Amino acid sequence: MARATDLGPFRVRGVLGEGGTSIVFEVEDEGGLVRALKVQSATDVSTKERARFLVEAERAGRVSHPALVPIEASGVLPDGRAYLVMPRLDGETLAARVVRGGLGVAEACALLEDLAAGLACLHAAGLVHRDVKPENVMLVPSPRPRAVLLDFGIARASDEARTTTTLEGRVRGTPAYMAPERFFGAEASVATDVYELAVTLYVMLAATLPWPDDASASDRLDPRPLAHARADVPRVLSDVIARALSTRPETRPATVASFADTVRAAADFALPTRPRATVDVAPATTPPLPPRRRLPLLAALALLPLLGLPLLPLSRAAPSTPPTPNATATTAATATATAATATAAAIAIATAAPPTVAAPHPHPRPLRVSPPPAPSPRAPSPPPPASVWFEDRR
């Protein structure tokens, strides 16, 4: 015998939500699994209304995306009401989260991208949602809260006959989030879903609607800028949302994906935590002489004694025959100048930048050093400056 808490094969555990035309119950199916069961509210629904409900459930069941709640089954209860079965998701609705205050810009952008991806999948299947709002968004726990779009009871094919009302004359959708053209009988479209997604993003950030009167179409002409409702929101992001809230559908972003991309770009550009390039400048210091330049200097200085040239200070053995005072002074001065010149030349060569040379010869030959020519036998003439020849006989 069926109990009062049973709905056909389902055992009711509680009510998850209730709208104008349907109720969502938490139920157990015949296998004991917990599910969400959406049922038409009225028991005296017409045959057309029941058929429409089932057709929309079948259309939504053909679309699969992580940001869209899957439709597992649909049918008719013994009392004549149509139903559809969905998984029971853990978490809270976006509306419940917004009651505690607006979200951060980064968090809101992440949730927006989830919803935009789900809606893009729905649009690609030829469907429009027509009721995007925080109450129809579930935040599912994961490494970060993930947005899942609910309530496909009013989703319809984009090529369906033009209408915006139910058979009882009610506008399909929630007036507070509906695009203004739909108040005047315009057809629901991708542009209207873009508008509703923009209103949802506004509410995520400001925790309030952009107009005071939920059901007034005239208030849609002058929505309050987001930057006025929340001072820390970048102005460029406020302008992007204002464009999506345009009363003219053709001036809104063409798709939900392009809207989400523009929002993300505006947020990344203006967020204060956006990383900026920095350059570290080291203090100016005088670098020491590189080791490769020290070796030529030491080698050049080491060659001086082999060439018979003294290092400064000058030190020479005393001559066997004392020369005249003038000759001694002249010789000493000349030798000192010669040694200083050779030492300075060696230092200049060693400290100069090393030239670019070709690869070493596979069979190098040693350098030969020729001794300086013998001095002239004429004693009165001063000795010429020392010369060094390096011969490479390759």
Residue range 320-324: mean pLDDT, rounded: 49
Using alpha carbons, list the distances in angstroms from residue 271 to 235, 303, 349. 11, 68, 58
Q: Smallest Cα–Cα separation from 33: which of 82, 83, 87, 84? A: 87
pLDDT digits (tens, 9 = 90+) for 154-213: 444 444 433 333 333 344 568 889 888 888 888 889 999 999 999 999 999 999 999 886
Domains and CATH numbers, the chain: 9-87 (3.30.200.20), 92-270 (1.10.510.10)
Q: Which residue has the higher pLDDT, 66 or 271?
A: 66
pLDDT of 20 strictly over 90: no
> By mean pLDDT, which of 60-64, 216-220, 237-241 is the weakest?
216-220
Instruction: Give the pLDDT band of residue 55 (cuts 50, 70, 90).
Output: confident
Question: Which pLDDT value is given to residue 235?
Answer: 92
pLDDT of 35 strictly over 90: yes
b/e code 82-92 from CB counts within 10 Å (16+ = b): bbbbbebbebb
b/e code 192-204 from CB counts within 10 Å (16+ = b): bbbbbbbbbbbbb
Instruction: Give the pLDDT band of residue 3 (cuts 50, 70, 90).
Output: low
Question: Which pLDDT value is given to residue 238?
Answer: 95
Instruction: Give the pLDDT band of residue 28 (cuts 50, 70, 90).
Output: very high
Question: Which pLDDT value is given to residue 14?
Answer: 92
With a CB cutoff of 8 Å and minimum separation 6, the contacts of 322 are 328
Query: CA 268, CA 262: separation in Å to the nearest integer?
Result: 10
Catalytic residue among 131, 151, 193, 261: 131
* Bridge partner residues of 370 (DSSP): 389
pLDDT of 358 strictly over 60: no
Residue range 89-93: mean pLDDT, rounded: 92
Query: CA 31, CA 385: separation in Å to the nearest integer?
Result: 113
Q: What is the pTM of this model?
A: 0.63
Residue 237: strand, helix, or coil: helix
Task: Identify the helix (H) or strand (E) that includes residue 344.
Answer: helix 325-351
Mean pLDDT of all residues belonging to the chain: 75
With a CB cutoff of 8 Å and minimum separation 6, the contacts of 63 are 121, 122, 125, 127
Q: Which residue has the higher pLDDT, 35 or 316?
A: 35
Query: CA 106, CA 104: separation in Å to the nearest integer?
Result: 6
Q: Is 261 a catalytic residue?
A: no
Could you tell me if 31 and 48 are in contact, meaning their C-beta atoms sit under 8 angstroms apart? Answer: no
Tokens 């419940």 sit on residue: 96
